[in-house]
Structure 1
């Protein structure tokens, strides 16, 4: 995947949110950590679509994790609307990414350079760079 020079990379899962920046070339990313924002997950709107008994019994859905994904999207929306993010790549596990997409503002969508649906928040930067380059 082409990750523009100076693009922000949001690394998200149900518990962690890390913001990185590509200081390398578009097809040879070199990432550096910029921030790990503290989020206040208050948007539990995912609960509306995850109220089935089977999901609750099996424990497949953790509303706190989905609320964290929504909070990450809201944080990114605010930065995009303020003009603080030009290009953005989002890397998130499939469930979190699906929830985040429901909350993208048009300004964030316009700045989105790509998405990767993998859980990489616990990986070292070099593995994340390889995943980004090979996507």
Structure 2
């Protein structure tokens, strides 16, 4: 995958968000960005308690975290702090994020990678992007 210069990369799982900005012009060079405060939501998408039929507390917490991340990323896009966004998330988390995207956030997406890379090194994340 070719990642545009200035694109932001959000690496998300059910408990953690890490943000990067690509500062490379011909190759991917990720620079860590400050992680915004994520407001925990009691449940996932509006009108639903969770993605599972009988959710346990961990599932509800993960779904709520994903919706909080969607809110933060939506705000960053709407306030023009993010113009291009690549999201890397565990498949279940990515599904929850998609439910919360604002139409402007959807338009800013340059890609999605359904893979759990939270906790991986910056080099491993850059390699996964190049191979996508």
Same fold (TM over 0.5): yes
Conserved 8 A contact 1:9-1:91: yes
Q: Distance in 2 between matches of 1:125 and 1:94?
A: 20
Aligned length: 130
Superposed CA offset, 1:17-69 (max 9, x none): 1110001135x21101011222111251344354624x65xx8x611011111
Unaligned runs of 5+ in 2: none
Unaligned runs of 5+ in 1: none
2:35 match:
36
Pairwise CA RMSD of aligned residues? 1.8
1:3 match:
3
Q: Distance in 1 between matches of 2:65 and 2:44?
A: 11
Match among 73, 76, 79 for residue 79 of structure 1: 76
Match among 97, 101, 105 for residue 100 of structure 1: 97
Change (3 A) 1:82 1:123: same
1:123 match:
120
TM-score of the superposed pair, with normalisation by structure 2: 0.90
Q: Distance in 2 between matches of 1:44 and 1:104?
A: 16
Q: Distance in 1 between matches of 2:39 and 2:98?
A: 18
